[in-house]
Structure 1
Amino acid sequence: MKKLLFTLLLAAVATGASAQESAKTIKIRVLLSLNGASRVGMNTVKQMLAQYQKAYPSVDTAVWTRIAGYYNEKDLANLLVPIYERYFSEKDVDGMIAFYKSDAGKKMVEMMPHITAESQVAGKIWGEDIAAKIRKDIEGAMK
Structure 2
Amino acid sequence: MKKFAIILALSLLLPVGGHAASGAISAEKKALIDTLLEQSGQSAIAMGKQFSDLFMVQMTDMLKKAKPDIDPRAFVILGEEVTAVINEKIVADGVLNNMMYPIYSRHFNEAELREMIAFNDTVLGRKIIRVLPEISQESLRAGQQMGAGMGPEIEWRILERFRKEGIK
- For the superposition of Structure 1 and Structure 2, which TM-score range results when normalised by the shorter chain? 0.5 to 0.7
How far the C-alpha of 1:46 sits from its partner, in A, is 3.1
User: Partner of 1:53 in structure 2?
Assistant: 60
Corresponding residue number in structure 1 for 2:15:
none
Higher-Rg member (1/2): 2
Structure 1 gap segments, 5+ residues each: 1-19
Unpaired runs of 5+ residues, structure 2, are: 1-24, 164-168
| Structure 2 residue 38 is matched with structure 1 residue 33 | yes
2:136 aligned partner: 116
Q: 1:63 to 1:41 in 2, by over 3 A?
A: closer
Map of 1:82 onto structure 2: 102
Query: Residues 107 and 138 from structure 1, CA distance in 2 versus in 1: closer, same or farther, beyond 3 angstroms?
Result: same
Q: Deviations over 1:56-94 (max 9, x none)?
A: 423741235423444346332332122101111000100
Q: What is the identity, as a one-letter code, of the residue corresponding to 1:53?
A: T
Q: How far apart in 2 are the matches of 1:140 and 1:24?
A: 57
Per-residue deviation at 1:123? 2.3
RMSD: 3.0
Task: State the TM-score, normalizing by the size of structure 2.
Answer: 0.59
Matches of 1:126 and 1:49 in 2, distance apart? 32
Correspondence for 2:78: 63
| Preserved contact between residue 56 and residue 78 of structure 2 (Cα < 8 Å) | no
User: 1:46–1:122: structure 2 CA closer, same or farther, 3 Å change rule?
Assistant: farther
Provide the TM-score with structure 1 as the length reference: 0.67
Match of 2:148 among 110, 125, 128: 128
Partner of 2:125: 105
Tell me how far apart the structure 2 counterparts of residues 106 and 122 of structure 1 sit (CA, whole Å): 25
**How many residue pairs align between the two structures?**
125
Cα deviations by residue, 1:78-125 (Å, 9 ceiling, x for unpaired)? 321221011110001000001111111111111123222212211221
CA distance in 1, matches of 2:78, 2:97: 25
Deviates more, 1:111-120 or 1:32-41: 32-41
Paired residue type of 1:102: T
Q: For 1:71, what is the secondary structure of its paired residue?
A: helix
CA 1:52 to 1:136, structure 2 compared with 1: closer, same or farther past 3 Å?
farther
Partner amino acid, structure 1, of 2:27? S
The list of structure 1 runs, each at least 4 consecutive aligned residues, that deviate by more than 4 angstroms after superposition, is none
Task: For 1:65 and 1:135, locate their aligned partners in 2 and report how far apart those are by CA, in whole Å.
Answer: 49
